[in-house]
Amino acid sequence: MEEEFDVSESQSQPAFDFKAFIIRVLSYWKLFLLFIGVGIFIVYQQNIRTQQSYRLSTQISIEEESNPLFTSTTSLTFNWGGVSGKVQTIMNSLRSRSIHEKVVDNLDFYITYLKQSRFRKDDIYTYSPFKIDLTPNTKQLLDIPIRITFLENDMYEVYINFESSLARTQNFTDKSKSSISVPEGEFKKQFALNEDISLPYINGIISIREDRNVAPNEEYFLQFNDFDVVVGKYRGSLSIDNPKNSPILNLSMVDVNKAKIVDYLNETVQVLSDEQLSRKNQFVTNTINFIDDQLDRVKTQLTLNADSLNRYKEENRIFNLNDEGTYINNKIISLEDAKESNKTKLAYYTSLKNYLETSDSFTEIPAPAVAGIEDSNILNNVTRINSLSVQKSKYGSTVRKDATIFADLNRQIDGLKLVILENINSATNEIKRLQNSIDTKIAIEESKIRKLPKAQQELFDIQRQYSLSERTYNMFLSKRGEADIIKSASVSDIMIIDKAKDTGAIPIDLKLSSRYLFAIIGGILPLLLLAFLITFFDNKIHNPQVLENLSNIPLLGVVGKNNLENNLAVHLKPKSTIAEAFRSLRSSLQYFYKKHNLEGSKAVMVTSSVSGEGKTFCSINIATVFAMSGKKTILVGLDLRKPKIFGDFNIENDIGVVNYLIGQKKIEEVTQKTMVANLDVITSGPIPPNPSELLMNENMDDLMETLKKEYDFIVLDTPPVGLVADALELTQYVDATVYIIRQDYTKKGMISLVNDKYNKGEIKNLSFVYNGYNQKGKYGYGYGYGYGYGYGYGAYANGYHDNENSKKGLIEKLKNLFIKSRRV
């Protein structure tokens, strides 16, 4: 069995061969053209099938718009906050789902109008000549295109192809979704324009838009999309840019329909502006609601007091108090006003304290100024806690509940609560003290009233209650008017700098030149990578130059690739380039013998690294060229393990050198004639169990001595040096050793083995022969090192040598191309 030779990875290898890499890349030119062509074709098909996308934008500014009606005498005051905090709040609002749900709902973007083009259904949006008005609280079919074919006489046909017996529907009023059973297969039904459609999966009225016409048999498609999916799509595609933390926000969006982008951006800004104005007015809105409640209460009391006063005057015929009574009445009324004001403050404080202690949200606290509270600490802190609570509420829809921002807001709110509660306790104690003082003064004045006549006293009490209710009502009514003025005069903090508008936007994702460039790059890079990896991991010798870089052992010659089925290339085609190459080898060997002053019979050993490198082929043809020169030559097959030379000469291998070495036959009996003049052959004979021992016995010495006496040249075909040690035993009998290297076959690591044996002196007079050279092969370097070999494929060779490249059929060419591509 053949022993395998494993070259250690630790042996030094040459650096990356850039020249080989370049030539390998150039050899792939057909594949480059194919890959690039396929890439360009794929891109072209994608371009014509994909709807183009566009990017449009709008720009807004966040301003601090104060109310122009606020003056130093305005009794209702509101703190609007600063610009820096507003920008972040508005950015969070723009990212919130609630904003996008309102926009999608307002624009009905869950309804898509489509028109069939060559490769796809295009979103035509406002270009659609018809529209559908959905019936509220009804189910609509989701994600299945509904074909609308317009007919004559204001009729149209609805066509649906149900691929399953179940269909998803959604109620776009409450956004609930459900699945319903549908008849599997095609559904068709005709309706009149403006007729109410009432089906389990479509409910609404289809009508033609104003100033639009539709031709008979024209087809369109209608599709309802999942509301949540549509909201998520547009929410994700909205880009927000805040350059350099300025009050400016740039909003942009990408979509296939420019009109949709324009409407969505502008509607988003409008919804945001309305929300911000509503939030800005929330404090005053809460105050108006509080005042309205108080007005209703006071108005009822005022009406009752007015009726009582009028009824008493009519019954007792007393219409006015005397001067003394009037004076006392006015004084008591003044005290009652102060007392009522304090009661209002106490009621507000009680309500505020209960609110702070029991509520988690503080967005509905009315303005303290409504109750006449002028404590600046309470005014400011109530405004701040209201603002923080609004901010916390807004973050709740966009930020995770465990985010640190909630902890920070809660700490700020808790701190303000403690401060306000302390202020409330202090203010409440002071008001109670004032109330006691007012009660004492009222008691003194009431004691004076008791001295008046009975009728005057009763009239005084009724009129006092009426006056008190009237003043309270007028006070709230005045504050209600102030609040209405403030609310109506408020403007949004969002100012539109540039509205979204289609000014000729160009596609952003179908830049054809760039796409084709990527297709070209995509076709080139894989092959470059493939060539790099193959070159990097390729450890075979592909040209004579690489061989010379790997070893200092002289290169005796280069032999072309043998295309014959027989190894007798020199004998069968003596004018071929291969024959000339072997003649050059013969000349080089003769020069070598002459240089070393070798006379008489010469012996040359032919070996290689491993089997398959052309050792036997070279042995046969070296022996042939010597014989053709008129020299008596013998070829001895000493590769006892894998004998080969007999088949090419059509002779038997029944007996051979093995029979001689074991003493069975004489030299005359094992020597055989060949069809080549002057060339004899001794085959190896039967395969022995101990080839190495046979080559080392005394009979081998006798064999070589006898052959040198009878022949001018002895060519030994030996086993591969890289596999077995037999060839090393034979070096003592030869004058020169020829080591065969085969193109695209011999591994570079084998050269390290030869170098090591050569440097140690185990093999002497060693030369390389480069076999299987193919100038048009894997690495077509060309080869002209000045050795004087006549094996080239130039004009001289074409004119002198036999034409070995006869025209081949198409199948043969394809076969060779396939073999070549596998080799590469």
Q: Are residues 621 and 727 in the same domain?
A: yes
- The C-alpha atoms of residue 462 and residue 333 are separated, in whole angstroms, by 12
Query: What is the radius of gyration, based on Cα positions, of the chain?
Result: 54
Task: Determine the average pLDDT of the residues in 490-515.
Answer: 74
Q: Are residues 89 and 158 in the same domain?
A: yes
Q: Are residues 590 and 471 in the same domain?
A: no
Three-class DSSP category at 491: coil
The answer to whether residues 139 and 177 touch, using CB atoms and an 8 Å cutoff, is no
Confidence of residue 204 (pLDDT cuts 50, 70, 90): very high
Residue 641 lies in a domain: yes
Max avg pLDDT among 325-329, 373-377, 399-403: 373-377
Digit-coded pLDDT (tens) for 39-65 = 888 888 877 777 778 888 998 888 755
For the chain, what is the mean pLDDT? 78
Residue 282 pLDDT greater than 60, yes or no: yes
The answer to whether residues 522 and 39 touch, using CB atoms and an 8 Å cutoff, is yes
Task: Determine the average pLDDT of the residues in 165-176.
Answer: 92
Dihedrals φ, ψ of 252, to 5°? Answer: -140, 160
Q: Are residues 614 and 482 in the same domain?
A: no
pLDDT, residue 612, reads: 85
pLDDT, residue 83, reads: 42
Q: Which of 256, 272, 295 is the last residue of a domain?
A: 256
Query: What b/e readout covers 212-236, taking b as 16+ CB neighbours within 10 angstroms?
Result: eebeeeeebbbbbbbbeebbebbbe
396 DSSP 8-state letter: T
Residue 125 pLDDT greater than 80, yes or no: yes
Q: Are residues 553 and 650 in the same domain?
A: yes
Residue 693 lies in a domain: yes
Residue 501 lies in a domain: no
**CATH code for the domain in which residue 649 is found:** 3.40.50.300
Residue where the block lists tokens 């079919």? 141
pLDDT, residue 232, reads: 92
Q: Are residues 153 and 183 in the same domain?
A: yes
Closest CA to 112 of 209, 221, 264: 221
- The C-alpha atoms of residue 508 and residue 55 are separated, in whole angstroms, by 7
Task: Determine the average pLDDT of the residues in 165-170.
Answer: 92
Domain holding 769, by residue range, is 544-823
Residue 136 pLDDT greater than 90, yes or no: yes
User: Order of strands across the sheet with 713-717?
Assistant: 555-560, 766-773, 736-742, 602-608, 713-717, 633-637, 679-682, 672-673
Q: Are residues 221 and 314 in the same domain?
A: no
pLDDT, residue 118, reads: 81
Residue 2 pLDDT greater than 50, yes or no: no
Residue 369 pLDDT greater than 90, yes or no: no
Q: Are residues 521 and 631 in the same domain?
A: no
pLDDT, residue 172, reads: 93
Q: Are residues 595 and 469 in the same domain?
A: no
pLDDT, residue 15, reads: 64
Residue 271 lies in a domain: no
Q: Are residues 132 and 235 in the same domain?
A: yes
The answer to whether residues 254 and 507 touch, using CB atoms and an 8 Å cutoff, is no
Of residues 667 and 724, the one with the higher pLDDT is 667
Percent of the chain with pLDDT over 90: 21
Dihedrals φ, ψ of 178, to 5°? Answer: -160, 170
Residues 6+ apart with CB under 8 A from 749: 7, 8, 11, 13, 539
Q: Is 98 exposed, middle or buried (0-12, 13-18, 19+ CB in 10 A)?
A: middle
pLDDT, residue 280, reads: 67
Residue 302 pLDDT greater than 60, yes or no: yes
Q: Are residues 289 and 207 in the same domain?
A: no
- The C-alpha atoms of residue 525 and residue 521 are separated, in whole angstroms, by 6
Residue 649 pLDDT greater than 90, yes or no: no
* Domain tally, the chain: 4
Q: Are residues 252 and 303 in the same domain?
A: no
- The C-alpha atoms of residue 146 and residue 167 are separated, in whole angstroms, by 13
Task: Quickly list H helices, 629-782.
Answer: 645-648, 657-661, 667-670, 691-696, 698-710, 726-730, 748-759
Task: Determine the average pLDDT of the residues in 695-718.
Answer: 89
Residue where the block lists tokens 């209608």? 222
What is the CA 630 to chain-centroid distance, rounded? 76
Residues 6+ apart with CB under 8 A from 150: 130, 156, 214, 215, 216, 217, 218, 219, 220
- Locate 117 and state its tokens: 């083009």
